[in-house]
Amino acid sequence: MKILGIETSCDETAAAIVENGRKILSCEMISQASKHQVFGGVLPEVASRCHIENIVGVVNNALCSCSYSLKNIDAIAVTHTPGLIGSLLIGLNFAKGLSFAENLPLITVHHLRSHIAANYLENKSLKPPFLALIVSGGNNHIIEVTSYTNFKIIGKTRDDAAGEAFDKVARSLGLSYPGGVNLDKISKSGDRFRFEFPRPEIKNAPYDYSFSGLKTYFFNKLSALKQKSNDIPVEDLAASFCYSVADYLTTKFLKAAHDLKHKILVVSGGVSANSYLRAKLKKECEKLNYKFYAPSLKLCTDNAAMVAAQGYYEFLSGNRASLDTNAFSNSSIERG
Ligand code: KG4
């Protein structure tokens, strides 16, 4: 079964064709990063306008790059939640129009479910049940994946997500948007042990995270350093911050795995591209003899192949959206 996936939840306009949820036939994306750079973050109105300009071209590219037409497609899967509402509506309405015109089934896909599904595309043997850590710009969850379409939230952030913290910290150091990846890059030449950052604990919620205090602690440290000297150790700050966040994310994730007796661990979402987090998880999982999966870098951040992959399993479980279905800026992964 060949599914056309469409993703427009934030600032990437993406389309892909995936066979039986596992094999990528095409995967196209137009990034808007250069349009948002001047604002230091994603400007929702600009994102919606760019999606309108790009959506037809990107779907065409996805079809052309594998020499397909819509006649070769069996269903359309589209992200409908969570995300920027204006952005989501462009993808959803485009998918609805296509589904109506071509008489193709329409499947709505939760963005976080699709981030987890990115791992199915490169690891044919990976099957639920397993424990997943999803870390992106807006979300930070530990999820028990009991089947392809059943999810239980084990832990989540009480405030910001790790990606948001990476982006704001990067901006405070004068790095351009998108900050997370640039922070990761410059941290390579820094000393990760030079500064110590806190790993906040939440009473009676051992698997929950909090990043807002960690972020503030960083800003205070930076401003104290600026008061003493103009020579700011940017690389050391970046390395120490990346190391602390990777350690914090990993420690809670491994505690949840131990307590819930999971030995298959999966990471996904934009922040799973972070070199410290990948290395730390890999090392700890090897020590404990756990199986560990992470998507390749190109599938960590938003893409449409993961939407088509999850769309396949949603289709098998009976998910069919009607033409009056809506987009939602927020909805739990458990509800879908
Ligand atoms: O999953 P994603 O593409 O979009 C959302 O659904 O949010 O994640 C984007 C987030 C951004 O905050 C970005 O800075 C972060 O992922 N990110 C990284 C890295 N690459 C992307 N954060 C740290 N290190 C990276 N290498």
For ligand 1, the distance from its centroid to the CA atom of residue 90, given in whole angstroms, is: 22
Give the distance (Å) from ligand 1 centre to CA of residue 162: 9
* CATH classification code of 2-117+299-316: 3.30.420.40
pLDDT at 79: 98
**If you measure from the C-alpha of residue 280 to the centroid of ligand 1, how many angstroms do you get, rounded to a whole number?**
17
> Across the chain, what does the average pLDDT equal?
97
What's the rounded Cα separation, in Å, for the pair 62 and 313? 21
DSSP 101-163: HHT--EEEEEHHHHHHHGGGGT-TT--SSEEEEEE-SS-EEEEEEEETTEEEEEEEBSS--HH
Relative to the CA of 162, which ligand 1 atom is closest? 12
CA distance linking residue 227 with residue 224, whole number of Å: 5
Domain with CATH 3.30.420.40 in the chain: 2-117+299-316, 127-294
Residues with CB under 6 A from ligand 1: 10, 136-138, 163, 166-167, 178-181, 184, 269-271, 273-274, 301-302
For domain 127-294, give the CATH superfamily.
Answer: ATPase, nucleotide binding domain (3.30.420.40)
What one-character-per-residue DSSP string does 40-79 give? TS--HHHHHHHHHHHHHHHHHHHHHTTT--GGG--EEEEE
Over its C-alpha atoms, the chain yields an Rg (Å, rounded) of 20
CA nearest ligand 1 atom 19, residue: 181
In this predicted structure, what is the pLDDT of residue 177? 85
Residue 285 CA to ligand 1 centre (angstroms)? 22
Nearest atom (ligand 1) to Cα of 9: 6
Residue nearest to atom 20 of ligand 1 (CA): 181
Span from the CA of 120 to the centroid of ligand 1 (angstroms):
20
Displacement of CA 324 from its chain's centroid (Å): 27
pTM to 2 decimal places = 0.96
Pocket test for ligand 1, best of 301, 307, 331 (most atoms within 8 A of CB): 301
In the block, which residue shows the tokens 């094999």?
Answer: 23
Q: Which residue puts its alpha carbon closest to atom 1 of ligand 1?
A: 270
| The pair of three-digit structure tokens given for residue 43, joined into one six-digit string | 């400007």
- Proportion of the chain in helix, strand, coil states, percent, rounded to 5: 45, 20, 35
Q: How far does CA 288 lie from the centroid of its chain?
A: 26
How far, in Å, from the CA of 14 to the mean position of ligand 1? 16
User: pLDDT below 70 — which residues of the chain?
Assistant: none
**Whether 193 contacts 244, CB under 8 Å:** no
